[in-house]
Homo-oligomer: A and B are copies of this chain.
Amino acid sequence: MNIKYFMKKALEQANKALLADEIPIGAVLVDNNNNKIISESYNLINANHNATQHAEMIVIHKACQKRQSKFLSNTSLFVTLEPCAMCAAAISEVHIDKIYFGAYDEKKGGLESMMKIYNQHHFFVPEVYGGMNELECSLLLKNFFLDQR
């Protein structure tokens, strides 16, 4: 699987978020069997009037709709920021196999930074790879929040 390619695709989504006045976080879900993108999105908190509409939640929703399946086995998630606890648990609920994320989230990261949610029992545990294209992913966010001040 071409990790760099799919991280670029997630970054493309994050850049689209910027143009739409959303926090620049992008995500892409890929089918492990054929390396094709199933769904992609960015944060839609403002557009959907709902603070739970993180990029990962949208990508999961779109993929479930497309596959008409409650589980998303044999897929990999590429996301520009470390998923929060909500998204980490959602990723586990739908049985996504692998997570590749960009920047670490010191405040709300649910995989490594703020908490390690998969250390608890009774979770389906995906493989996790952090720090992909980290600098580009984190600069996008830092610049966005600097501009907001």
List A residues at the B interface (Cβ < 8 Å).
45-46, 48-53, 57, 60-61, 64-65, 67-71, 84-86, 88-90, 93-95, 107-108, 110, 114-115, 117, 120-122
B-side contacts of A84, CB under 8 Å: 89, 93
Q: In the complex, which of the residues B49, B107, B108, B120 contacts A115, with contact meaning CB atoms closer than 8 Å?
A: B120
Known: A48-B64, A52-B61, A107-B121. 4 other contacts (CB 8 A): A49-B69, A85-B117, A86-B89, A108-B122
Chain B hits for A117, CB < 8 A:
85, 115
> Do the beta carbons of A64 and B89 come within 8 Å of each other?
no
B52 touching A90, Cβ below 8 Å:
yes
State the Cβ distance, A124 to closest chain B Cβ, in Å.
10
Q: Which residue of A50, A51, A84, A115 has the most chain B CB atoms within 10 A of its CB atom? A: A50
- Which residues of chain B have C-beta atoms less than 8 A from A48's C-beta? 64, 70
Q: How far is the CB of A17 from chain B (nearest CB, A)?
A: 15
